[in-house]
A and B are shown apart, each in its own frame.
Chain A
Amino acid sequence: MYDVAVIGAGVVGAFCARELKKYDLDVVVAESADDVAAGASRANSGIVHAGFDAPAGSLKAKFNLEGNRLMEEVCRELGVKFYRNGSLVLAGKGQEEQLRALFERGIQNGVTGLRIVGREELAAMEPNVAEGAQSALYAPTGGIVCPYGLTIAAMGNAMDNGAALECGFKAVSAERCKGGWTLHAASGKTLSARIVINCAGYGSEQVAALFGDSSFRIGARKGEYMLLDRSCGGFVRHTMFSLPTAAGKGVLLTPTADGNVLVGPTSVEQAEYDTSVRREGFDDIRAKACLLMKDIPFSQTITSFAGVRAYSDRHDFIVEWSAACEGLFHVAGIESPGLTSAPALGAYAAKQVAEKLGAGKNSTFDPVRRPQHWFRSLTDEEKNEVIARRPEYGKIVCRCEEVTLGEIVDAMRTNPPARTLDGIKLRTRAGMGRCQSGFCQPGVFDILRSEYGLQADEVTKNGGKSFVIAGGEL
């Protein structure tokens, strides 16, 4: 029996696991997909929000501010790239008052460094800013981070410190057992724990229901994006927002931590979880993005995708012990700014659980993980030293992102291990460049086969039945 079972390996579940391992606790993470970061944590804007947007006094505001403060150190420990590139909320003629109100709210929330800049300064900060933008709220504490990179690193660090990860474990029922709960998966597997933390994102309403808790509803709102090639990297430096409306933060335009330009998201209410993109979505993005920047290089689009916001009917985060059921803690309804808040949410949930179980500190916890993409940040001399020891670091497999065989092999042998094409892609960037895996896919396919001894028709894109080869061997 584990001390704690975390359901869901998104960024929230990953940070819960990592923070729990700072205590003397046995932790398992149960994830229905075949890899971590399968839900909202894979497809979002990747913004570390400054915190001016959340309603004052809300849990969102509290955890956003706390998460933003923690992010720098967390990313340093986990070796994840994080940049405080600063955010700009643009206002046109006649919107000065709304901008002022946002500024006031930010001050109230405790955001530091906020300032309103005029057109001239704005144009100096962002030469390509749209003509209509007259002033802007500048938030220097806003930042960008790779969301799945952060999730993978947090989970990897939790595992390096002894947490277990059960992928392909979709919790479909829960029953009381002596001293805790037994979870049953769709696959027939079971696991038991004294405490369960519900971090199941869109699935968190269903997970609560497994325990007889129906205290909240989760809705789905899709957000579509277009991603531009790294060659557009210099086009924008800050994260560019328009003024928030009742519908949310609206379409933004931002550099990503890996140097691409991201435009989106749209906002589409949905009856169920669905990550397909729509033609109208592209039109919507283009139309709205033009209010932020001029001459956006849309011709450099390399891919488009969608993420689903899982929001609660309380319109705030749900971070609490279940009132309906003993031993269940919810970290649910984590919509934006959930990525930003994740380190703080994890720390808070872990503290609650550790107190409940009377767990002491884990004196052997090591917060440090080898940096992601460590190899590419080396100088040529340093790379040569690595290649001399491990020649596979001299063999480039993905030409667009220049990912080496060594990095791919490591992604399969480092926690949490990659087992699919997408798993390799999220960890190494192989296949994420301008050719979108046209060149390297067969190579990565071969590497996966030999590492795991798979047949040709067993390699998947992202687990389940997403087989790459569906026509068999000739």
Chain B
Amino acid sequence: MKRDLVIIGGGPAGLAAAIAAYDKGVRDILVVERESRPGGILKQCIHNGFGLTRFKESMTGPEYAQRFIDEAEKRKIEILTDTFVTRLTDKKEVTCMNERGIFTIQARAVILAMGCRERSKGALNIAGTRPAGLFSAGTAQKYVNLYGMLPGKRVVILGSGDIGLIMARRMTLEGAKVLCVCEIRPHSSGLRRNIAQCLDDFGIPLYLQHTIVEIRGKERVEGVVVAAVDKDKRPIAGTEKVFECDTVLFSVGLIPENELTKGAGIPLDGRTKGCTVDGDRETQAEGIFACGNVLHVHDLVDFVSEEAEIAGSAAAEYLFGGERQKRLIPVQAGQNVSYVLPQRLDAASESPQKLYFRVTGAIKNAVVRVEGGDGVREWKKIAVAPGEMEHITLPPAYFREAEGLCVSVLAQEA
């Protein structure tokens, strides 16, 4: 089987990429989705707050997804659901499996939009027992929102990622008692608005620099021991507190789902755990693009859609014009910056380039500094935090002659 464009994943990224590619003239598009319905993780995010940036209105996750599903339907874009992509090669062969069998599609271009998965509790090496009642926050979200079941009644949440925060509120509203949220770092990894609306409004304490050091219970969770940690994240003896609970939720990070990518031998960035891409979101394998949470973890779906449109349009351009002549220069993460995306930029590009980045720690009155192009550029930000992705836009004149750029964030001198 041959297709022009195969998109792996029918979440917001895959859908937006498909729509963008269609609007640029591509007609032979196939979106492959392993679940029964498109929409990705948004299907279970029934809270609102989606679309504020893009549509200037607050929607629920399913509502946001539906807009894109409707647009895709309008264009009669084919979405193959209940179909799992099991293999990908750098020659753009996509092997799928569903109830009709296993088949391989030879694509002319591929967009990776597989999203991310939650980091598991197993990776944390917490002492104690392994009873029932330990859930990743997203799994608990699925039970509550899609199954209509409450995993437990007394809850401790480890990690202050957005899903954990959202679930603190959700489970409280459904009648559970959320005792606390523990975060090992000195700052939350979630959005500020989520801390205010999901914890503060419900009087749920957030213990920063605290972690769970032991899980207790034989068959079902009976409690956890929480302790303060020092600056090296080591528990401080004597600070232990016992919380009696029947449930522990883990919201300890998201990891781009790149097993297919690894299988295809496409290089990944050690920090983002996604591909290294250029401004077109093209990976180091020609004609294979990536966008959304599979590329780097986003906090807002609005940026996912935007990124997917870049990838979709670029894939269309590639399909019509072949690989463009690019002069790729590296973009580096400087002081206080954990990563910048894209990692490489086409200095020959005629259009402005947007750089997305995250900081390593919270800074008030920050200055974003870009060097390496035509002089030094600076932007002021009132506050930056690791939980919130930032971006700046560079005009072509700035990088035309550059050999490499570096983005850093500094505290503004008083």
Contact = CB atoms under 8 A, between A and B. Distances in A.
Contact of A387 (B99, B133, B148): B99
A113 interface: no
Contacts of A302: 120, 122-123
B200 to A, nearest CB: 24
Nearest to B152: A470
A461 B151 CA distance: 13
B208 interface: no
A394 B99 contact: yes
B220 A467 contact: yes
Given A384-B101, A470-B247, A474-B144, A395 B82 contact: yes
Interface string B135-156: 1101100111011111111000
Interface of B: 34, 82, 84, 86, 95, 97-102, 117-118, 120-123, 125, 127-133, 135-136, 138-139, 142-144, 146-153, 174-176, 213, 219-220, 235, 246-247, 259, 262
A468 B151 contact: yes
Given A471-B175, A473-B148, A474-B144, A301 B123 contact: yes
Nearest to B153: A471
A413 interface: no
A325 interface: no
Contact of A281 (B34, B127, B144): B127
Given A438-B138, A461-B131, A474-B148, 15 more contacts: A226-B125, A302-B122, A303-B120, A391-B99, A391-B100, A396-B34, A435-B117, A442-B142, A465-B220, A468-B132, A469-B152, A470-B220, A471-B151, A471-B174, A471-B247
18 contacts: A276-B127, A281-B127, A302-B120, A380-B95, A383-B102, A395-B99, A400-B259, A435-B118, A438-B118, A439-B117, A442-B139, A456-B149, A462-B132, A466-B131, A466-B132, A470-B153, A471-B150, A471-B247
Given A301-B125, A435-B120, A442-B143, A473 B138 contact: no
Nearest to B44: A442
B219 A464 contact: yes
A396 B97 contact: yes
Contacts of A380: 95, 102
A460 interface: yes
Given A384-B101, A388-B101, A394-B99, A282 B125 contact: yes
Contacts of B101: 383-384, 387-388, 394
A402 interface: yes
A100 B34 CA distance: 56
A471 B213 contact: no
Nearest to B123: A301
Interface in A384-429: 384, 387-388, 391-392, 394-396, 399-400, 402
A441 interface: yes
A392 B139 CA distance: 23
Contact of A277 (B118, B128, B135, B219): B128
Contacts of A396: 34, 84, 86, 97
Interface of B is mostly: mixed
Interface string A18-56: 000000000000000000000000000000000000000
A94 interface: no
A187 B318 CA distance: 69
Nearest to B235: A279
Interface of A: 226-227, 231, 275-279, 281-282, 301-305, 380, 383-384, 387-388, 391-392, 394-396, 399-400, 402, 434-439, 441-442, 456, 460-462, 464-474
Contacts of A279: 125, 127, 213, 235
A302 B125 CA distance: 9
A282 B128 CA distance: 12
A469 B102 contact: no
A434 B235 CA distance: 26
Nearest to B129: A276
Contacts of B151: 468-471
B219 A438 contact: no
Nearest to A285: B125
B95 to A, nearest CB: 8
A384 B99 contact: no
Nearest to A438: B136
A470 B150 CA distance: 7
Contacts of B176: 471
A357 to B, nearest CB: 39
Residue among A276, A303, A396, A470 with max Cβ neighbours from chain B (10 Å): A470
A469 B138 contact: no
B127 A277 contact: yes
Contacts of A474: 144, 148-150, 174
- Centre residue among B34, B98, B139, B146 by max chain A CB count within 10 A: B139
A459 B160 CA distance: 29
Contacts of B262: 231
B139 A441 contact: yes
Nearest to B176: A471
B220 A278 contact: no
A127 B153 CA distance: 51
B121 A394 contact: no
Contacts of A438: 117-118, 120, 135-136, 138-139
Contacts of A276: 127-129
A465 B146 CA distance: 24
A380 B101 CA distance: 9
Given A442-B143, A466-B219, A472 B149 contact: yes
Contacts of B99: 387, 391-392, 394-395
B352 to A, nearest CB: 38
Contact of A470 (B82, B133, B213): B133
Contacts of B144: 474
Contacts of B117: 434-435, 438-439
A387 B120 contact: no
B136 A473 contact: no
A338 B267 CA distance: 44
Nearest to B136: A438
Leading 10 A-B pairs by shortest Cβ distance: A471-B150, A303-B122, A461-B132, A391-B99, A436-B120, A466-B132, A466-B219, A394-B99, A438-B136, A384-B101
A278 B128 CA distance: 6
A276 B91 CA distance: 47
Nearest to A457: B149
Nearest to A388: B101
Nearest to B175: A471
Contact of B100 (A282, A394, A436): A394
A380 B97 CA distance: 10
B84 A399 contact: yes
Nearest to B146: A442
A465 to B, nearest CB: 4
B120 A304 contact: no
Given A305-B130, A387-B102, A391-B99, A465 B219 contact: yes
B127 A278 contact: yes
A164 B151 CA distance: 35
Contact of A394 (B97, B122, B136, B147): B97
A388 B133 CA distance: 38
B235 to A, nearest CB: 8
Contacts of B86: 396, 402
Nearest to A303: B122
B79 to A, nearest CB: 17
Contacts of A470: 132-133, 150-153, 220, 246-247
Contacts of A226: 125
A53 to B, nearest CB: 29
Contacts of A227: 122
B147 A395 contact: no
A466 B220 contact: yes
Nearest to A461: B132
A399 B97 contact: no
A400 B84 CA distance: 12
A461 B220 CA distance: 9
A235 B213 CA distance: 30
A227 B120 CA distance: 13
A473 B132 contact: no
